[in-house]
């Protein structure tokens, strides 16, 4: 049976809207993070996103790109999802 994931819309820097499926959520030191994928395929590309507030105080998400932060967050999500392998 296929799992149902929450879907969020993510706007790229080019203004294109992309559907992202939330696999897991966590909060670390008051910051909210999402592990998302762009498809339901088993070998799908996954991204870690951080929730921020924009200039109008609306919630927005940005992809985590800092290598050390990404590595630490990958370990946290790997522990939360024991049956999922996360490759950097």
Q: Is residue 50 part of a domain?
A: yes
User: In angstroms, rounded to a whole number, what is the distance separating the alpha carbons of residues 28 and 38?
Assistant: 23
Q: Identify the pLDDT of residue 78.
A: 87
The token duo for 65 is 């790109």
Q: Is residue 39, in this structure, part of any structural domain at all? A: yes
Which range marks the domain in which residue 69 is found?
A: 6-80
- Give the pLDDT band of residue 10 (cuts 50, 70, 90): confident
Confidence of residue 1 (pLDDT cuts 50, 70, 90): very low
**86 is a domain residue:** no
Q: Could you give the C-alpha distances from 20 to 27, 30, 55, 56, 68, in angstroms and in order?
A: 19, 23, 23, 23, 23
Q: Is 52 domain-assigned?
A: yes
Residue 31 Cα distances to 14, 50, 73, angstroms? 26, 7, 12
pTM of the entire predicted model: 0.77
Q: How far is CA 3 from the centre of its chain?
A: 17
Q: Is the pLDDT of residue 41 over 80?
A: no
Confidence of residue 24 (pLDDT cuts 50, 70, 90): very high
Residue 88 belongs to a domain: no
Number of domains in the chain: 1
């Amino acid at each position: 049976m296929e799992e149902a994931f929450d879907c969020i819309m993510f706007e790229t820097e080019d203004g294109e809207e992309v559907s992202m499926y939330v696999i897991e959520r966590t909060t670390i030191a008051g910051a909210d993070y999402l592990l998302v994928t762009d498809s339901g395929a088993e070998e799908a590309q996954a991204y870690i996103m951080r929730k921020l507030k924009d200039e109008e105080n609306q919630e927005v998400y940005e992809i985590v790109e800092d290598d050390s932060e990404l590595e630490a967050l990958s370990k946290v999500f790997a522990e939360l999802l024991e049956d999922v392998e996360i490759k950097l």
